[in-house]
Amino acid sequence: MLIYNIKQIIHLIQVYKVMKIKKKILKLIIYLTIFSLLPINYGFAYLDPGTGNILLQIIAAVAASAAIFFGFIWTKIKLFYLKIKEKITKKKADEKN
């Protein structure tokens, strides 16, 4: 009798997992349907030549900022490992003496 109940419990757990997955898929389908049926409003905008220049400046500024930021991080990491290396070499030198 106990084995039969354990089998039922295992089966119910498996059914629950499948139902949970099916609910997630159904939610996704409903959301996609709703968003695909929403009306699309087109925005007609004029982009003058200065806009491209501003975009290039933004890209250059982000690249320069990232380079400086990661440069500082790289320097700190390098100094950290150099300090560890110096401590190890000092210990080895002290052990030899």
Rg of the chain over CA atoms, in angstroms? 31
pLDDT tens per residue, range 57-76 = 999 999 999 999 999 999 99
Q: Considering the entire predicted model, what is its pTM?
A: 0.42
pLDDT at residue 1, rounded to an integer? 46
Asked if residue 40 and residue 71 are part of one domain, the reply reads no
pLDDT at residue 29, rounded to an integer? 87
Residue 97 banded pLDDT, cuts 50, 70, 90 = low
Asked if residue 97 and residue 52 are part of one domain, the reply reads yes
In whole angstroms, give the CA distance from residue 72 to residue 54: 27
pLDDT tens per residue, range 21-62 = 888 888 888 888 888 777 777 777 777 888 888 999 999 999
Asked if residue 30 and residue 58 are part of one domain, the reply reads no
Asked if residue 38 and residue 11 are part of one domain, the reply reads yes
User: Domain tally for the chain?
Assistant: 2
Asked if residue 59 and residue 12 are part of one domain, the reply reads no
Domain carrying residue 97:
46-97
Asked if residue 97 and residue 50 are part of one domain, the reply reads yes
Asked if residue 35 and residue 4 are part of one domain, the reply reads yes
